[in-house]
Structures are given as C-alpha cells and as structure tokens.
Structure 1
Amino acid sequence: MADVGVRPARRADAAAVADVQVRAWREGYRELLPAKVLAEVTAPQAAAVWRERWLQAITDPPSPRHRLLVAVSAELVVGFAAHAPAEDPDLDAATTAELVTLLVDPVHGRAGHGSRLLAATADLLGKDGFATVVCWVFEQDAVMRRFLGSAGWAPDGARRVLDMGEPVPMIRMHTDISGGTRRL
C-alpha cells in the first residue's frame, strides 16, 4: 500500500494544489457550472493565479486559524482542504469555522483521501476551539452532499445564489465537532 496521509501544505505544494483544483473542477463541476465560467476558472492563466493565491495562503495566511492541508500519496499531493473562521454574518466566527474547499484529484478519487482531509480538518478545528463547521456546497453537487452527509453533515437551511451568467444555487451544510455526536 502506498504511503498516504495528510499534512500542512508547504510552499512547494502551491503549484500541485492549483493543479489538483483545476483538474477536480474540470471533472466535478462540468455539470454544475456554466461552461464559459468553468473554462475561464480552469484556463492556464487562471491556474497561474490560483498558484499565487495558494502560495499566499500557505506563506501568509490571514490568521493562524486559516489553514491549508494536503493529502499525499507517496509524496504526491492528491488533494487538499482549506478552512478558516466562518465569515457569514449569522455565524459566530469564534466558535464556527468554514471548510472553504475540499478537493481530491479525480485520478486519485475513491481512495480515502477526502475522508482523511475531512477528519484532519475537524481535528485541527476542534483543537482551535471551534464547535461547528459549515461548508457551502453547490445545490446540485450530489457527490459532495452525499460525502458530507455520510460524515454527519446536514443542510442548515441557509441558501445563496451565485451569479455566473446564470444563477447557481448553493446550500450551506454544517456539522457539530464539539464532542460526543461527532462522526468525522
């Protein structure tokens, strides 16, 4: 079995994280986002911007509670998760965190990397004193909804619509990481 695990992202991981993001979006979001938007956010020029943004997230995060984790298999970055204090105005950023993104390279899917990332995220957030974690999910993203649901997450009733040339609805899911009911 390959050497697999989750660790904090390093400066040298920024390009690999951006590459995983682009591949995962191309595969997973092709039915969810307008084709023109998806082409723009996964184009080579966009990938260069993502690399710079991920490098900044690694080297100069806004706070110690903003983290980027990577899933590795035989030293290769195969997925990542980013989390931060929640920013939605109806949430308490002192006790509620947001899973900003969790993506696994489609070539390495269904190998437990997403589950390892989710568990590591919950562990770190619990140590940081968070009790709840939320995540915005495309309403039509059945794969992510099932994945989070299998780990004890559920919709909390919040909704928003992104304007991407056409409306793209999202729902907010949440889970309790404060103790006994945690399933992550």
Structure 2
Amino acid sequence: MADVAVRTASPADAGSVADIHLRTWQTAYAALLPEQVLAELDIEQTRSAWLDAIEHPASTVFLATEGGTAVGFCVAGPSPEADAANADGSLPEDSAHTGLISSLLVEPRWGRRGHGGRLLAAAAEALRERGARRGITWIPEADEASLGLYRDRAGWQPDGTVRTLDAAGQPLREIRVAGPLELTLVEPAS
C-alpha cells in the first residue's frame, strides 16, 4: 500500500473534502438518497460549507490521504444535547462527556484499505483529549458499510435510538451507534 496518513484538514483542503463528499454521496449513497437530492448537490456550496466546518473551533475535520491524494474525511466534536439524548428526550448521565462523529466518509474507490479505521481512531483520540469518554454517530440504517466499520472494526453498537430525516420528501431512517473512545481496531477480513 502507498504511503497513508491522517491529518487535521486545513482551509486549503475544503475543495478536496467537498469532492470526496459529493463523489461518495453520488456513488455509495445513490441507493439511499433521492435523485433530486443528489442532482441538487453544488460543488461551490459544498466547498463553502466544508470551509466553515474546517474553521469551526469546536470540531476537528480529519483528512485521510494515500500517496498524497485525499481519500476520506471525518468530523469530530462535542455532541449537541439533541444528538446525545435518549429516545425519550432525556439526557444520559454522560451527555457532557459524549463526542459526536458527525461524518466519516471514504470515497468508495479507496474503500477497504483501512482509511475509515484510521480516521475513526484519530477522531476518537481527539475526542478523548477534549474530555469525552463515549462516542456516538448517526448512520443511515441501510448503510451496511458504515455500520460494519463501527460495529465490526471498533466495537460500537446500535443503541436503539433512531431518527428519521426528510430527504427531499423521502424519509431517511438513521440509527445511532455508540461506543468507547479507547479503540482497539480489528483489522478487516481480507
């Protein structure tokens, strides 16, 4: 495998992050999202949104590279109360020490090479350094690849909390997955 790394994204990386975001949604998420949502994706708006995210002081955007090419990204920060809340709306005792992985995408052509695990490990370490003890993320219920990364590689499990988003009039059901931030990643089966 070529030289691989994970680093903190800089403002100059916003275009690369936007490209990965769009290509991943247009390929891996084509069956999950309505055509209208995918057709309305705009590279300049996406780049601007990622520039804002990269510059946001409360979260960190990590960039995975292989041979100098940006291949994936991950965003980690403190969990908003709404994301950490139990299904009944109450807050768990550890809500103040819960970190959120708000996005983790690896462009499909670079998948199954360990980039997702490296991104998750970097995010978990950053969340621990900020005082978090537990991590959560939301993933589309039908996204088996992401569920496999969290469940099979990191030991995170669905915690029974679900939400439904409106994707251009089509419901998109997401499950919350939670787990420890002290990660021992299991290598993917070849």
Displacement of 1:114 in angstroms is 0.8
What residue number does 1:88 align with?
81
Indicate the residue corresponding to 2:11 in structure 1.
11
Q: Deviations over 1:138-177 (max 9, x none)?
A: 0111111111111101011111111221211111100112
Per-residue Cα deviation, 1:72-94 (whole angstroms, up to 9, x for no partner): 11221111000121113325553
Question: Is 1:85–1:93's contact at 8 Å kept on the other side of the alignment?
Answer: no
Q: 1:71 aligns with which of 64, 75, 94?
A: 64
The equivalent residue for 1:112 is 114
1:175 aligns with 2:179: yes
Q: Which amino acid aligns with 1:106?
A: P
Distance 2:81 2:137 in 1: 11
The one-letter amino acid of 2:51's match is L
Amino acid at match of 2:137: C
Q: Give the aligned residue type for 2:63.
A: V
TM-score by length of 2: 0.86
Q: Deviations over 1:81-131 (max 9, x none)?
A: 001211133255530011000011122111111111011111111111100
For the residues of structure 2 that align with 1:88 and 1:135, how far apart are their CA atoms?
13
Contact 1:8–1:67 (Cα < 8 Å) also in 2: yes
What is the CA–CA distance in structure 2 between the aligned matches of 1:171 and 1:7, rounded to whole Å? Answer: 28
Task: Give % identity.
Answer: 41
Q: Which residue of 2 aligns with 1:163?
A: 166
Q: 1:149 aligns with which of 148, 151, 163?
A: 151
1:47 is matched with which residue? 43
Partner residue of 2:23? 23
Residues 161 and 168 in structure 1, CA contact (< 8 A), matched pair in contact too: yes
Residues 76, 102 of structure 2: 8 Å contact kept? yes
Q: Is the 8 A contact 1:98 1:134 kept in 2?
A: yes
* Distance in 2 between residues matched to 1:166 and 1:10, nearest whole Å: 34
Quick one: distance in 2 between partners of 1:93 and 1:47?
Answer: 35
Distance 1:144 1:14 in 2: 23
| Aligned partner of residue 94 in structure 1, secondary structure | helix
Instruction: Give the alignment's TM-score, normalised by structure 1.
Output: 0.88
Residue identity opposite 2:163 in structure 1 = R
Q: Residue 78 of structure 2 contacts residue 127 of structure 2 at CA under 8 Å; is this kept in 1?
A: no
Distance 1:48 1:93 in 2: 35
Task: Give 2:165's aligned amino acid.
Answer: L
Q: Which consecutive unaligned segments of at least 5 residues does structure 1 have?
A: none
